[in-house]
Structures are given as C-alpha cells and as structure tokens.
Amino acid sequence: MNSTALKTPPSYAIASVDHALRLATVLQLEGGLTVTAAAERLGVARSTAHRVLQMLVYRDFARQDEERIYRPGLVLELAAHSPSRTAALRKVALPYLERLSATFDESVNVSIRAGETTRFIASVECQRALRVTSREGMVFPLHRTTTGMLYLASLPDQELRQYLDRHPDGRGAQRRSVLQSVGQARRDGFALNLHRSEKGLVAIGVPVPWDGSELFAGLSVSLPSTRYDERRVDRYVSVLRSASTKLAQHLAAWGLLTNERTVRQ
C-alpha cells in the first residue's frame, strides 16, 4: 500500500505484531519507555510488554539504558521534532481526550504534523461495539487528516500548491477536492474528514493553539460514517474548541506554548 492510499484494517490482525509496531512508534516519537508504561499503553500485562520490548532490543529497534528505560535503537531514527515535547503533549492531552470521549461517546485523538505527514500520538476509544479503533502510532499524508488539513490551511497559497504538486492526489478532481476542503477549513477554523483516511470513517478536528515552531497539533473526534449527522457538527466543534483552548492554557503553564498559532481566517 502506498502512502496516499486509503488504509483498510487487516482481516486477520496479529496482536503481537501490532504491539511491537506501536511500541516502536512510541520510542521513535517520545524517546523513552519503561516496561510498566509500555504495558499501560498496550493494555497488556507487564510480562507481555517486557517480551515485546526484548524482541525490539534483539532486532535493534530499542536498547535499554542503565536505568532500565527502553530507548530508540539503531534502526529507529528520532523524528525531527523534539521527543520530549511530543511526550509532554501526549501526557497533558490524555485527560482531555478521556473527557472528550466520555462526552461524545466516540473515539478521540491528538495528532501532530511531522513533515508532510500527520502522526497520531494519542487516542482514547469509546466503549461502543461499533467504534473507530485507536489511531495511535498511525501516519497519513497531511491532506488525509483533519490536523493535516488545518496545517495546510495555515500555509500561504503558494506553499499549499507546492505541497499538492508533490503528491499523487494533487492532480485533477482530487486536487480540487483537497483545495475545497482546505478552503473550508480556512473559513470555518475546523476540518471535516469524510472518508479521506479510511473508508467508512468520519472525523472532525480543531487545531491546538501552539507556538511558531514545527510542532503543529490538533484534536479530533472519529466516528463511523453510519453515526455521522451533519446537524451535530456544530456541537462537536464547540466542545473540541473548548477543550483545545484549555489544553493550550495547560501547555502554556508547562512552558511548552509561548504564542498562539491558529488557522488563518
């Protein structure tokens, strides 16, 4: 599957492989992990998390330091943004995600822009039988996510066109569709994703006010298209914006946010 194709969950998922890939992503994004933290992230026993981490060490995806903390190994290159900032954002955002998921009874996410992709760094699933599963660790082209579209909406027109010129979706009808969605995000200050990342999935997202650095973040709610009702969009956006503002204030208190960066209106 190429990077621009819609993602489809495998028919026969292998849990152990999924666990290893998720922990490798956490190490790449955040830089360090204990066995206990790994078990909590995966929702498994410490013994299971330990076995996964040991396999990552064996294959050089991880290493263990003198304090018994697992770090990225030789195979993994740290992302361009600071792992400590990403880890801090995730830690601060998680309580907000838990409250949002309880409010909406849907799955919610926080994601960041990383180069020309969006990386999901935290997700909280709702408890419904039919739900969007955790996006944590997943990567999509910018134009296939709400956070990515909000970032593109913050760019000057020339940079937006240059981005589209570099992507297969940046031609013909697909280009017009992306430009329309980005233009809508500029006008409204939120983004709507209808099946762009995965068939049958709808997402609504708002930006997190951040400083002028490379780290651009967004909050989103993801739901099956069968439950999507456009009449409820305003409520989703209102609640997400309130949470985003409070999250930004929390980040500022941590010294992680210095001045607001928002979508151009």
Express each pLDDT in 205-251 by its tens digit.
Answer: 999 986 555 578 999 999 999 999 999 999 999 999 999 999 988 88
List, as one string, the DSSP characters of 195-244: SSSSTTEEEEEEEEP--SSS--EEEEEEEEGGG--GGGHHHHHHHHHHHH
Task: List domains and CATH numbers for the chain.
Answer: 15-72 (1.10.10.10), 83-253 (3.30.450.40)
Check whether 3 has a pLDDT greater than 60: no
3-class state of residue 45 by DSSP: coil
pLDDT at residue 259, rounded to an integer: 41
Express each pLDDT in 86-126 by its tens digit.
Answer: 778 888 999 999 999 999 999 999 999 988 999 898 999 99
Q: Tell me the average pLDDT of the chain.
A: 86
- Pick from 258, 244, 245, 240: nearest CA to 85: 258
- This prediction has a pTM of 0.72
- Give the span between the Cα atoms of 112 and 84, in whole angstroms: 14
